[in-house]
Amino acid sequence: MKIRDIELKNDVILGPMAGVTNQAFRELVIKEGIALVYSEMVSDKAICYRNEKTMKMLEVSPNEHPFSMQLFGHDKDSMVQAAQYLDQHVNCEIIDINMGCPMPKITNNGAGSALMKDPQYAYELVREIVDHVSKPVTVKIRAGWDENSINAVEVATLLEKAGVSAIAVHGRTRKQLYEGKADWDIIRQVKEAVNVPVIGNGDVASYEDKMRMKELTHCDGVMVARAICGNPWLVRELITGEKAEVNVEERLEMLITHMNKLIDLKGEYIGVREMRGQSGWYLSGLPYNNRMKDLLNQVRSKEEIMDLVNSYQQILLLDKDEQKEAIHKLRNRGA
């Protein structure tokens, strides 16, 4: 698969997730062989004002290439200005425009999937960006705003006319958020309507899902997002078709690795607090995972996380009756 002149080594792509796909998380999946990673979405206004936190989000490590930096906003002038900054000063290969985020704090400002409500304006906005940068510009869209305004094909056709180099399509509407089933037929319709590469997104959690999506839609690449949280090994499965056999010890080791990378990136105070929610991903399906998630949500330091994980490992070595008693004591200690 190629995005303009950028050759991807396979067809598996990490989708952008706000609060998730920071450098710490990206490095976990890059090691598994993913072809392309996206940043968290970054604000055009924040770039224009050189917001310190946003400037930090623009940092790209040497092993993250090829890299797509995702930009969100609505105003043409600030979007072009921000895109030019990414083009000239940020070490990314691709600039992606967010037309898919469904969250009210984004759409209420006319950004994200709200841009799909006015296809002509979306065209004009993207055309201005493409005309003012040298790097390839891509766009991530949804099926439409709601079930009464499914317009992905119309929007995609205009985006191709505007000069984009690829289009990612999430098969849900904005109204669905992340609920219900993604409509892969929308992806097929977009693929048939445009000549640029199309990346399918939504409900891919296994190699079988990936191959079924490609067979039904003929998309060029497959984007994976939520299914990879707590499971970076899924990348390997999606590429090779061989399911990774990951034991409890490996899962917990990855949890600690993720935590350490977050702390290195953001410092212990912020890193630990962000890890509270993300640590639960690695416990999914394991014994007493809900009780452990409750305890991890209360931690305040790296040492507390390490202590909990080590205690949990020891508990899982006990017989079932002893496990119940040990978990109970651990919970009381946490209280």
Given pLDDT bands bounded at 50, 70 and 90, which one contains residue 333?
low
For residue 212 the two structure tokens come to 């079924």
Which residue of the set 48, 92, 101, 229 is catalytic?
A: 101
Q: Is the pLDDT of residue 335 over 60?
A: no
pTM to 2 decimal places: 0.95
Q: Phi/psi at 12 (nearest 5 deg)?
A: -105, 125
Q: Report the distance separating Cα 90 and Cα 267, nearest Å.
A: 23
For residue 200 the two structure tokens come to 């399918």
Would you call 92 a catalytic residue per the annotation?
no
Full set of structural domains in the chain with CATH: 2-240 (3.20.20.70), 248-334 (no CATH)
Q: Which residue has the higher pLDDT, 46 or 329?
A: 46
Q: What residue spans of the chain are helical by DSSP H?
A: 23-30, 44-48, 52-57, 76-89, 104-107, 119-132, 152-162, 184-193, 207-217, 234-240, 248-266, 268-283, 289-296, 302-315, 320-334
Q: Find out whether 265 and 271 touch, Cβ atoms under 8 Å.
A: yes
Span 36-49, pLDDT tens digits: 999 999 999 999 99
Q: Report the distance separating Cα 234 and Cα 256, nearest Å.
A: 18
Residues 6+ apart with CB under 8 A from 293: 279, 280, 283
Q: Report the distance separating Cα 252 and Cα 311, nearest Å.
A: 11
Span 147-197, pLDDT tens digits: 999 999 999 999 999 999 999 999 999 999 999 999 999 999 999 999 999
Q: Whole-number mean pLDDT of the chain?
A: 96
Q: Report the distance separating Cα 327 and Cα 183, nearest Å.
A: 42
Residue 220's closest CA among 242, 182, 190, 181?
Answer: 190
